Amino acid sequence: MTLFVVASFIQACCWSVTRLPQAGESVAASAVSSEPGGKGFNVAIAASRLGAQVSALLGVGEDAAADAALQLLQQHAITPVYAYRLASQSGHGAGLIAADGANMISVYLGPNQLITATHVDHAQASIQSASLVYAQFETSLAAIQHSFALARQAGRQTVLNPSPWQPIPQAVLSQTAILIVNQHEAAQLLAWSAELLAVSPEDTLIALRQAMHAFYQQWPGDLLVVTLGALGSVAMTQAGEWVVAPAWPVTAVDTLGAGDAFSAGLCVALMHGEPLAQALAHANACGACVVQTPGVLAALPDMLAVAAIQRQCGTTPLA
């Protein structure tokens, strides 16, 4: 079983601050870090650590950051890697991380957006032999659309995380079998209000369930998943199965990368044929591993780390 990732590479630079600044305000940082990252890169690394066979497609720069990223993919036995040096500088991101785990991020995508359908064609054999093909929106839409089309031609399932958010083109949405969104993306996609979650979780979950059901009237996909941060995650299938998976009770220090770990965990669990409830719980545990420590790369879990979370919190997640 192989996961093919239509990936992205971003050299992630993060500053730790007491609180996020207001517009026009400067705040002092207590620490700074720089490490290889990017939504697709993180998913590929995380899935490999969770035991999956992984292959990937990505655009990088002619710089030392790209050299380090490609070496790291090699160290994780991610192969084949279809890497194209399409610009002088790789993608870069700047993040501010507050003491409560809240964050603000700006991303320069650079060569990630220069991947074309021709580049995808070189990876056709890997795409069409994969169990799942995963993509996110730090990569060019042309690459995602063509990758998904090739995958669906071969009867493979496709997974999309439309982050950073932008409206999903119909040509991509119609080829997507599994859709993973966070609560903010769900508000855009489903015309659902996430603001009341903190006030009345039960009522807003009822509204979310109705919005997800209505979305299936315009989407032929198989599975819609919404992550809800500290409230866990929910999912609905085309057949109407509804699953709520509460979050594991951990203290969040840094939420960067949690969504990528969740996506990787969900993909790996689904490839292993886990029932939906167990797959969501596993994905929640992967996200919980990441939020407990600063940074992303070192925090992306392996199966031992996931098992440790489950032992720490009990055999089932707690509300």
pTM above 0.85, yes or no: yes
pLDDT at 73 (0 to 100): 97
Report the sign of the C-alpha dihedral through residues 95, 44, 268, 208, in that order. positive
Structure tokens at 121: 């064609």
At residue 187, the pLDDT reads: 92
- φ and ψ of 311, to 5 deg: -70, -40
The pLDDT of residue 319: 37
The answer for 155, left when phi > 0, alpha when psi is -120 to 50, beta otherwise, is left
CB neighbourhood size of 29 (10 A): 13
Could you tell me the two tokens for 208?
């979310």
* Domain boundaries along the sequence of the chain: 2-19+29-313
Radius of gyration of the chain measured on its C-alpha atoms:
18
According to the model, what pLDDT value does residue 223 have? 98
Residue 243, token pair as written in the block: 């699953």
Q: Which CATH architecture has domain 2-19+29-313?
A: 3-Layer(aba) Sandwich (3.40)
Query: pLDDT of the chain along its 319 residues, tens only?
Result: 899 999 999 999 989 999 999 999 999 999 998 999 999 999 999 999 999 999 999 999 999 999 999 999 999 999 999 999 999 999 999 989 888 878 888 889 999 999 999 999 999 999 999 999 999 999 999 999 999 999 999 999 999 999 999 999 999 999 999 999 999 999 999 988 777 676 677 888 899 999 999 999 999 999 999 999 888 999 999 999 999 999 888 888 878 899 999 999 999 999 999 999 999 999 999 999 999 888 889 999 999 999 888 887 775 553 3
CA–chain centroid gap for 166, Å, is: 15
DSSP string, 142-184: HHHHHHHHHHHHTT-EEEEE--S--PPPHHHHTT-SEEEEEHH
